[in-house]
Amino acid sequence: MTQHHRNRFSGSVGFILAAAGSAVGLGNIWRFPYLAAKDGGGLFLVLYVILAVTFGFTLLTTEIAIGRKTKQSPLTAYTHIRKGWGFLGIFSCIVPMMILPYYCSIGGWVLKYFAAFLTGDAAAAAEDTYFTGFITGTTWPIVFFVIFLLMTAAAIFRGVNKGIESVSRILMPVLAILVLAIAIFSLTLTHTDADGTVRTGLQGLRIFVIPDLTGQTIGSFFGVMVDAMGQMFYSLSVAMGILIAYGSYVRDDDNLMRSINMIEIFDTLIAFLAGVMIIPAVYSFMGTEGMKASGPSLMFVALPKVFSAMGGIGSVVGCLFFAMVLFAAVTSSISIMEAIVSSFMDQFHLQRDKATVIILIYTLVVGVLVCLGYNKLYFELTLPNGATAQILDVLDYISNNILMPIVAIGTCLLIGWAAGPKTIIDEVTKNGSRFGRRRLYIVMIRFIAPVLLIILFLNALGILH
């Protein structure tokens, strides 16, 4: 693909919404609230915000600027920055190829629960065996996975403007409204246990936002920082090739720094509102014990029980909640697929339709294997970090815990030392735009970000505790 023929976003708003749609995914909804509750509420939030405007800012700026400067996909962009660094492009293309099949499988789970609440099956969805019964089935997980995958591919077939940008312009504002509405509703909740204990949504909010330093040591503080850093790293869509691909569609006259600031704000705000939406509701009906759930157990087991306990209104709230999660999953899935499709288009000079069909078939095959990993192909493997894994978990571990940190560390070394920070600074400021936090960026990309990423890498491998 030459620069002349490359698709582009119509303007900065389209880019911001698409990039924010990529960043706002399942991690914001099912992991951020759990970590905040586990790590002393406000302390986690403060560290997360500090890391967002330093660590997150550096990684976001670097990848988006690489994309716009080279007008290339992740697979081919790194070689254009510096010859000999193309291996980072290969890794950053492998990452989304590993993530897309299992992300679409989880997207199918979300679609199933949305359908359950929409069709009045909320009571059944709240039963202990519902989730396990669903994913261990051999047919329906594949059916919902295929539907979700086709929803994703439909946007990619339509291209950057008519597909990715149009979908983002519709879904992201609706998602934001739904998150805000459910968050406000959660704060109004009151529940009385059988023993007369009364818990309210506002009490849950206090647990979420007020720092709890009880029993904090240097070691536990370090643990909170690593949690906040990991959540920041995995929620921003960095090291997955996505931001390079999206950056390559940004117009040269757009103010890159203003767009990056907006993406930071949007991602952090949605993550915070997800906490306000989930923690008060879970606390009201399940107490502090319920707040120990995270990931699929929070989304597909704990929350349906909360909605069921709300009575009649719970079915409506649950339906809106899973609609919101579905929108977040779709926009993220679209960005993951686009990173791969754009790479194939640039590397092999394919038309969009042909590249999309190839990735669609690949994802279909691997995704079916992921679905069968909970029944026909079930096995248990102990990972280096001690977790017990199936096919989905193995793909997640290799992509998230090994390849993504390697890509991010390599990118810091490339821009911090081999090519120099000026490569990115010149790209950001080439149309007269001001580079805010310029000195911070240079220090972060050269020294601090690589160290933080190495700590994150060692922690993910189970070497550093």
- Second CATH level (architecture) for the domain 12-460: Up-down Bundle (1.20)
Q: Is 41 left (phi over 0), alpha (psi -120 to 50) or beta?
A: left
Q: What is the pLDDT of residue 5?
A: 67
Q: What is the pLDDT of residue 134?
A: 97
Closest CA to 35 of 23, 26, 47, 44: 44
b/e map of 142-169 (b: 16 or more CB within 10 Å)?
Answer: bebbbbbbebbbebbbbbbeebbbbbbe
Closest CA to 324 of 185, 182, 168: 182
Spatial distance between the Cα atoms of 275 and 69, rounded to a whole number of angstroms:
36
pTM of this structure: 0.96
CA triple 151-60-233, angle to 5 deg: 75
- Alpha-carbon separation of residue 248 from 43, 165, 242, 381, 426 (angstroms): 37, 14, 10, 39, 16
Token pair listed for 251: 């117009």
Please name the residues in contact with 253: beta carbons below 8 A apart, sequence gap of 6 or more: 431
Amino acid letter for position 64 = I
Spatial distance between the Cα atoms of 462 and 254, rounded to a whole number of angstroms:
42
Domain spans, the chain: 12-460
Task: Per residue of the chain (465 residues), give pLDDT as tens.
Answer: 344 468 899 999 999 999 999 999 998 998 999 898 888 788 999 999 999 999 999 999 999 999 999 999 999 999 999 999 999 999 999 999 999 999 999 999 999 999 999 999 999 999 999 999 999 999 999 999 999 999 999 999 999 999 999 999 999 999 999 999 999 999 999 999 989 999 999 999 999 999 888 888 998 999 999 999 999 998 899 999 999 999 999 999 999 999 999 999 999 999 999 999 999 999 999 998 888 888 899 999 999 999 999 988 999 999 999 999 999 999 999 999 999 999 999 999 999 999 999 999 999 999 999 999 999 999 999 988 788 999 999 999 999 999 999 999 999 999 999 999 999 999 999 989 999 899 999 999 999 999 999 999 998 888 876
Helix (H) or strand (E) holding 192: strand 190-192
Spatial distance between the Cα atoms of 10 and 398, rounded to a whole number of angstroms:
36
Contact assessment for residue 99 and residue 392, using Cβ atoms and an 8 Å cutoff = no
